[in-house]
Amino acid sequence: MADVFVAASIRDISPGVKEFAFRPGLGAALRPYAPGSHIVIETAGKANAYSLTGDGTTADGYRISVRRQGDGGGSAWLHDRLRPGDTVRLSRPRSAFAPVATAKHHLYVAAGIGVTPILSHVRAALRWNRSFEVVYGYSAAGAPHLEDLQRLARGRLFEAEGGAQLAEVLTDRLRQQPVGTHAYACGPAGMMAVFRKLGGSLGWPEERLHVEHFAAPELEPGEPFTVRLASGRAVAVPGGTSALDALAEAGVPVPALCRQGVCGQCRVAVAAGTPEHRDLILTSREREANDCFYPCVSRAQTDELELEL
């Protein structure tokens, strides 16, 4: 569900990055959200997800920071076309990257524009007096929200310029964490791979390493299969067509946002059959359970997949 919001302010915060603040339009309302949440903005016929940077209380509206990427996409439209006073449609906040309530300590890791959900986590941690520290990697070309983190984290911020230094700092901080720590990372794919590899090599349980992806990689078309609904109806899913699209065409729409196996909106329970998991959300243990899948990207290892729809 999307509501109308008004662009309250727009400002440059670093080269190629702008911060956008939104206030509710007619009939819309601000809703509290979990740290690490995102909203989806409808721009010029497209829908893109952007992380909220506030602490979740919405005292100053919804705020996002967006790096301009190429031409013709959502970020270019926001940078080049949106002006204060213009209206846009925003989804309600949603999170697949919330802090773990039982964690004794939180290690937040950001690189580049991946700082946005981490900034939300830090602000919430300060509000609720949670134990935390931050590792922030950036390039000489720019470090969005660096001054904010320096002010907020005060002695708990570990900076790294460039990939090599980030790997060194991250290795050190992952080694130093007390028992009961959960680590959260957001940034480019390369950094995320290093984060997971280092965590695994240092003995971190997979369920204590949390990641927020920007987008999924390109996927192969996959083999055709059949989705069986709870009613017994069969829906064919051709190669190169997502189960999400096949279901929608058959009149069985499933709520979805990113359509890349990143946001978690389209999760569906599996009653029988074996999914071919292609999402970037499930842990290894969750994949082995084979009791759910994300139809926007995932397919089936078996000829038929029975869903609880």
CATH of the domain at 163: 3.40.50.80
- Of 70-79, 159-168, 217-226, 282-291, minimum mean pLDDT range: 217-226
Smallest Cα–Cα separation from 241: which of 222, 268, 218, 260? 222
Does residue 97 belong to any structural domain of this protein? no
- Is the domain of 55 the same as that of 79? yes
Among 187, 212, 237, the domain boundary falls at 212
- Kindly state whether residues 183 and 234 are assigned to the same domain: no
131 shares a domain with 155: yes
Same domain, 75 and 124: no
Tens of pLDDT, residues 188-232: 888 988 999 999 999 999 889 998 876 656 678 888 999 999 999
Mean pLDDT for the chain overall? 90
**Interior/surface letters 127-141, b for 16+ CB within 10 angstroms, e for the rest:** eeebebbbbbbbeee
Question: Distances from the Cα of 15 to the Cαs of 12, 67, 182, in angstroms?
Answer: 8, 9, 32
39 belongs to a structural domain: yes
Instruction: Pick the more confident residue, 74 or 269.
Output: 269
CA–CA distance, 275 with 295 (Å, rounded to integer): 10
Is residue 98, in this structure, part of any structural domain at all? no
Confidence at residue 42, expressed as pLDDT on a 0 to 100 scale: 82
Same domain, yes or no, for 29 and 84?
A: yes
Whether residue 116 is found in the same domain as residue 166: yes
Domain count, the chain: 3
Q: What is the CATH number of the domain that holds 284?
A: 3.10.20.30
The pLDDT assigned to 94 comes to 85
Q: In what order do the strands lie in the sheet with 181-186?
A: 157-161, 132-138, 105-111, 181-186, 209-212
CA distances from 161 to 16, 125, 189, 301 (A): 18, 25, 17, 43
Q: Is residue 183 part of a domain?
A: yes
Q: Are residues 40 and 85 in the same domain?
A: yes
Spatial neighbors of 199 by CB under 8 A, at least 6 apart, are 174, 183, 208, 209
Q: Is residue 99 part of a domain?
A: no
Mean pLDDT for the stretch of residues 143-170: 95
> Does residue 220 lie in a domain region?
no
Tell which of 91, 116, 138 closes a domain. Answer: 91
Output phi, psi for 2, to 5 deg. -120, 145
Residue 57 is part of a domain; what is its CATH number?
A: 2.40.30.10
Instruction: Assess if residue 32 is contained within a domain.
Output: yes
- Among the listed ranges 159-163, 241-245, 254-258, 296-300, which one has the minimum average pLDDT value? 254-258
Residues 248 and 195 in one domain: no
120 in helix, strand or coil?
helix
If you average pLDDT over residues 289-309, what whole number do you get? 92
Show which of 212, 237, 256 is a domain's final residue: 212
What is the span of the domain harbouring residue 239?
225-307
Does residue 232 sit in the same domain as residue 283? yes
Residues sharing a CB contact under 8 Å with residue 248, sequence separation 6 or more, in sequence order: 254
- Verify that 198 and 114 share a domain, yes or no: yes
Percent of the chain with pLDDT over 90: 67
Which pLDDT does position 247 carry in this prediction? Answer: 92
Whether residues 69 and 36 fall in one domain: yes
With a cut of 70, say whether residue 269 has pLDDT above it.
yes
Q: Is the pLDDT of residue 120 over 80?
A: yes
Residue 51 lies in a domain: yes
